[in-house]
Amino acid sequence: VSEIKRRKFLKTSAGLAAGAAAGPMIWVKDANAQQWKNTPEKGAKLRVLRWSRYVQGDIDQYMKNVAAFTQKYGIEVRVDNEGWEDVRPKAAVAANTGAGPDIILSTNDDANLYPDKLVDVTDLCTYLGSKLGGFYPVCDPYLRPDGKKWIGVPLGVAGVCMVYRQSHMKAAGFDTFPKDTDGFLKLCKALKEKGTPPAFALGNATGDANTWCQWLVWAFGGKLVDTSNKVVIDSAETLKALEYVKDLYGTFAPGTLSWLDPNNNKAFLDSQISLTNNGISIYYAAKNSQDPKVKEMSADIYHANMPVGPVGKPTEFQLFFNQMIFKYSKYPKAAKEFLRFMMEPEQMDPWVQAGIGYVTPALRHYEKNPIWTVDPKHTPYRDSMKNMLPSGYAGKMGYASAGALADFIVVNMVAEAASGSKSPKEAAQRAQKRAERYYKV
Amino acid sequence: LHKIAAVASLTARLQDNKNALGILFLLPTAVLLLVFLTYPLGLGTWLGFTDAKIGRAGEFIGLGNFEFLWNDSVTRLALFNTIFYTTVASVIKFGLGLWLALILNQHLPFKGFLRAIVLLPFIVPTALSAIAFWWIYDSQFSIISWTLQRMGLIHQYIDFLGDPWNARFSTIAANIWRGVPFVAITLLAGLQTISPSYYEAASLDGATPLQQFRYVTLPLLTPIIAVVMTFSVLFTFTDFQLIYVLTRGGPLNATHLMATLSYQRAIPGGSLGEGAAIATAMVPFLLAAILISYFGLQRRAWQQGGKD
């Protein structure tokens, strides 16, 4: 109990500090600025491995920031890119063998797989947090698992929102996008009747299927595990979610069981569907399209946060990005300096803008970045970190949560119930069995 | 000087010794095989008996992984899928391949050109042809569905990869398309080694074309068939790329093969031990396939027209 209390206290005090930094008390800011003292090792060189860009602007600006860092500190930085799903095994091997890039930008639960191989960055995170409005609480389970020590620096998430065609929604009799799951089902039914159906990926799609399936189960109060990592997916709440998804699936365009990540983008841009879940990429593909018809469509594309279910609070699931420094690095101080530099507003603000809002930063300060308001359609993505629950909710992260997610247990369960290949009860029981294996009862 | 002389005489003696020389020449290959084949295979098998995770060395847990996998519905499904996929695809590949080889062995116009074309599916990188099939089978943009709909034959797009059985047959079709050239060209090579004099003798004896095929072609082709089908079965059983691009094992794990499941569990899932166990579990099936072809098809007596 005392542990919980202390955590709560720490959180509230962090929040207070955040409020202070954002407020008019400029002296706090100065004090914090002085707080950061770090001298990179002489002759340091850094290697960074990161996930490849989703939008060209991201990597262009990232490399500009890297060049600015090299110019300022005289530290050479080599940046390698890999598809985000390939970074995970590489990072794990680096952790295991004790050799590899000094800094790795990876995803989801990764830092919890080898926490003792990572450099403690509590000083850096405390500095960044107090200067830049604090990290969102959801960063804790990812990178501060014990509530005290930061094992990595949160970068942000690739936000996923509902993407819809405004004119189709209006034609279906809705003026605004429904805020709750009941309204959402009604909208989907109306869209289907008008011949402009919604569709959500139900294949083994790492990005899109996971984000919406987890959201849905959580929205009804279902969850894979409870706070003590006991598997509780076979519950009345999950069954409600699965009954709901049966109705919802009836409104989908055909073929979603086979859909992988790119399918909904293609179908949406071809006007075959009018509602799906996605990052901001569909909108930008349309906006920058050479095809005048598609370009015209971009005016009709709108975004909304995922509707709230019976639990009464947002339950989004997003792809989380971390930044880890490995203990084998010969230049941990230089690495810290690099991450600090990249997270400072001078670098981060232009980067968020160049990435056209694809990444929602983990520090509250960046809610004020003009990218979120320059086009109102960007705004929902600003709140992606605020509205999300962590991977492996409500349990702790580790091999079990990473394995269960990679094995598509929740996605398969939702797909089985949706398609009617299994009854909701059977689907939930099967998911329970599969998950128990990962969480070894 | 004394030393040099000793070394020189040793070298001279070594050069005269056939056994020593033989071992010396074998050494580079042996080292390569050991380092790049035996070691990874041994390590993989060992990992299957541990609970290793990516980034964490495991402990020996005996048959723990296999026990779990035996009770795991997804693994069982993957095993069924793999056997089904391999059997159906291999049988059809053999039939089509043999047929194609026999046709190409005739005196056709543009023979060289035709043979080159037949090889094309085999030459194209799997990942590329898989992406082509992905579009062909797409639930919204399928060229097949589009054509059939335009012709008025169907009213709804075919759900090639969204229905479990459709998905199985669709992936098998793609595998066959890719695998037939290998079978056909190898069998064609085999056909060409058969001396025409046998056929002349057979036709003098009054054998019909069917009898010539049964009593001349088939027995003489059997060794090649054994080899090509062994390879074909091995390739099919361990197929990965095609499934990974087309379905990633979906829908509802209906197309998950042992290889794709092994990858999913081991690399993105981080359970190296379990993934290795799935891969190891494939070995008995592969061995069985090899042994069947070896003992079943390599029998000399049968090849020479006698009875077993």
pLDDT (mean) for A16-38 = 53
CB A106 within 8 A of CB A51: yes
The answer to whether B189 faces chain A, any CB pair under 8 Å, is no
Of B145, B252, B265, which to mutate for an interface test with A (greatest number of A Cβ within 10 Å)? B252
pLDDT (mean) for A35-40 = 88
DSSP A257: G
- Residues of chain B with Cβ-Cβ distance to A402 below 8 Å are 269-270
Q: What pLDDT shows up at residue B54?
A: 76
* Yes or no, beta carbons of B247 and A258 under 8 Å apart: yes
Q: What pLDDT shows up at residue A16?
A: 45
The answer to whether A263 faces chain B, any CB pair under 8 Å, is yes
Give CA–CA dist A416/A245, Å, rounded: 10
Give CA–CA dist B28/B23, Å, rounded: 10
- Supply A18's token pair: 């955040």
Which of B162, B253, B269 is the closest to A255 by Cβ?
B162
pLDDT (mean) for A274-283 = 94
Of A107, A204, A434, A438, which to mutate for an interface test with B (greatest number of B Cβ within 10 Å)? A204
- Supply B84's token pair: 């089904």
DSSP A105-169: EEEGGGGGGSGGGB---HHHHHHHHHHTT-B-TTHHHHH-TTSS--SSEEEEEE--EEEEEHHHH
Give CA–CA dist A170/A190, Å, rounded: 10
Helix (H, G, I), strand (E, B) or coil at B140: coil
Q: Which residue has the higher pLDDT, A408 or B295?
A: A408
Out of A306-320, B53-67, B292-306, the most confident range is: A306-320
Phi/psi at A146 (5° precision): -95, 5
Q: What pLDDT shows up at residue A356?
A: 87
Give CA–CA dist A354/A371, Å, rounded: 9
| Closest by Cα among B109, B92, B104, B228 to B171 | B92
* pLDDT tens digits along A71-97: 999 999 999 999 888 898 889 889 888
Min Cα separation A328/chain B (Å): 14
- Supply B285's token pair: 């099936």
Q: Strands A319-325 and A103-107: what pairing?
A: antiparallel
Q: How confident is the model at residue B140 (pLDDT cuts 50, 70, 90)?
A: confident
Contacts (Cβ under 8 Å, ≥6 apart) of B277: B47, B48, B49, B65, B66, B69
pLDDT (mean) for A258-268 = 92
Question: What number of CA atoms fall less than 13 Å from residue B194's CA on the CB side?
Answer: 23
* Yes or no, beta carbons of A258 and B167 under 8 Å apart: yes
* Yes or no, beta carbons of A257 and B160 under 8 Å apart: no
Give CA–CA dist A419/A398, Å, rounded: 31
The stretches of B151-307 forming alpha helices (DSSP H) are 164-193, 196-204, 209-212, 218-237, 241-246, 258-266, 272-297, 300-303
Q: How confident is the model at residue B304 (pLDDT cuts 50, 70, 90)?
A: low
* Yes or no, beta carbons of A403 and B271 under 8 Å apart: yes
pLDDT (mean) for A186-208 = 94
* Yes or no, beta carbons of A430 and B138 under 8 Å apart: no
- Minimal Cα distance from B74: which residue of A? A434
* Yes or no, beta carbons of A203 and B250 under 8 Å apart: yes
| Closest by Cα among A383, A358, A357, A359 to A370 | A357
The answer to whether B165 faces chain A, any CB pair under 8 Å, is no
- Residues of chain A with Cβ-Cβ distance to B267 below 8 Å are 88-89
Give CA–CA dist A204/A407, Å, rounded: 9
Query: What percent of chain A is helix, strand and coil (3-state, nearest 5)?
Result: 55, 15, 35
* Yes or no, beta carbons of B250 and A257 under 8 Å apart: yes
Q: Residue B83 above 50 pLDDT?
A: yes
Q: What pLDDT shows up at residue B80?
A: 95
Q: What is the mean pLDDT of chain A?
A: 90
Distances (CA, A) of B155 to A403, B135, B149, B152: 41, 19, 6, 7
How many Cβ atoms are within 10 Å of A294's Cβ, its own excluded? Answer: 16
* pLDDT tens digits along A3-21: 444 444 444 444 444 444 4
Query: Residue A320 belongs to what H/E stretch?
Result: strand A319-325
The answer to whether the peptide bond before residue B251 is cis (omega within 30 degrees of 0) is yes
Q: Which residue has the higher pLDDT, A431 or A89?
A: A431
Q: What pLDDT shows up at residue B299?
A: 60
Of A11-20, A101-110, B207-216, give the lowest mean pLDDT range.
A11-20
The answer to whether A235 faces chain B, any CB pair under 8 Å, is no
- Residues of chain A with Cβ-Cβ distance to B159 below 8 Å are 254-255, 257-258
Residues of chain A with pLDDT > 90, as a percent, come to 78
Helix (H, G, I), strand (E, B) or coil at A359: strand
* Yes or no, beta carbons of A113 and B54 under 8 Å apart: yes
What does the buried/exposed string (b/e) look like for A224-255 if buried means 16 or more CB atoms within 10 Å of the residue's CB? bbeeebebbbbbebbbbbbebbeebbebbbbb
- Minimal Cα distance from A414: which residue of B? B252
- Minimal Cα distance from B69: which residue of A? A437
Q: What pLDDT shows up at residue B308?
A: 44
Query: Could you identify the residue written with the tokens 């926490």?
Result: A115
Q: What pLDDT shows up at residue B305?
A: 52
Q: What pLDDT shows up at residue B300?
A: 55
Q: What pLDDT shows up at residue A138?
A: 96
Min Cα separation A421/chain B (Å): 9
| Closest by Cα among B183, B213, B218 to B93 | B183
- Residues of chain B with Cβ-Cβ distance to A116 below 8 Å are none
* pLDDT tens digits along B98-116: 999 999 888 888 888 888 8
Give the B window 74-103 contacts with A, CB below 8 Å. Answer: 74
Q: What pLDDT shows up at residue B201?
A: 92
Please give the order of strands across the beta sheet that includes A161-165. Answer: A275-278, A161-165, A301-304
pLDDT (mean) for A280-289 = 89
Instruction: List the helix and strand counts (H, then E) for chain B.
Output: 16, 0
Q: Residue A401 above 60 pLDDT?
A: yes
- Residues of chain B with Cβ-Cβ distance to A205 below 8 Å are 248
Give the B window 240-269 contacts with A, CB below 8 Å. Answer: 247-253, 264-265, 267-269
- Residues of chain A with Cβ-Cβ distance to B140 below 8 Å are 253, 255, 263, 266-267, 270, 272
- Residues of chain B with Cβ-Cβ distance to A206 below 8 Å are 268
* pLDDT tens digits along A236-248: 999 999 999 999 9
C-alpha angle with apex B16: B11 to B19, nearest 5 degrees?
Answer: 100
Of A407-411, A416-420, B229-233, B292-296, give the lowest mean pLDDT range.
B292-296
* Yes or no, beta carbons of A254 and B73 under 8 Å apart: no
Query: Global pTM?
Result: 0.85
How many Cβ atoms are within 10 Å of B175's Cβ, its own excluded? Answer: 26
Q: Strands A275-278 and A359-361: what pairing?
A: unpaired
Which of A92, A399, A430 is the closest to B73 by Cβ?
A430
Q: What pLDDT shows up at residue A23?
A: 44
Query: Could you identify the residue written with the tokens 């969204």?
Result: B162
- Residues of chain A with Cβ-Cβ distance to B265 below 8 Å are 403, 406-407
* Yes or no, beta carbons of A92 and B270 under 8 Å apart: yes
Q: What pLDDT shows up at residue A329?
A: 96
Give the A window 89-108 contacts with B, CB below 8 Å. Answer: 89, 91-93, 95-96
* pLDDT tens digits along A346-399: 999 999 999 888 999 999 999 999 999 999 999 999 999 999 999 999 999 988
Q: How confident is the model at residue B155 (pLDDT cuts 50, 70, 90)?
A: confident
Cα B245 from chain centroid? Answer: 18
In whole angstroms, how large is the CA radius of gyration of chain A?
Answer: 22
The answer to whether B58 faces chain A, any CB pair under 8 Å, is no
Give the A window 397-416 contacts with B, CB below 8 Å. Answer: 399, 402-403, 406-407, 412, 415-416
DSSP A371-439: HHHHSGGGHHHHTTTTTB--TTTTS--SHHHHHHHHTTHHHHHHHHHHHTSS-HHHHHHHHHHHHHHHT
Q: Residue A25 above 80 pLDDT?
A: no
Q: How confident is the model at residue A258 (pLDDT cuts 50, 70, 90)?
A: very high
Of A10-14, A231-235, A280-284, give the lowest mean pLDDT range.
A10-14
The answer to whether B167 faces chain A, any CB pair under 8 Å, is yes
pLDDT (mean) for B165-183 = 94
pLDDT (mean) for B235-261 = 91
Q: How confident is the model at residue A298 (pLDDT cuts 50, 70, 90)?
A: very high
* Yes or no, beta carbons of A263 and B56 under 8 Å apart: no
* Yes or no, beta carbons of B270 and A434 under 8 Å apart: no
Q: What pLDDT shows up at residue B98?
A: 94
Residues of chain A with pLDDT > 70, as a percent, come to 92
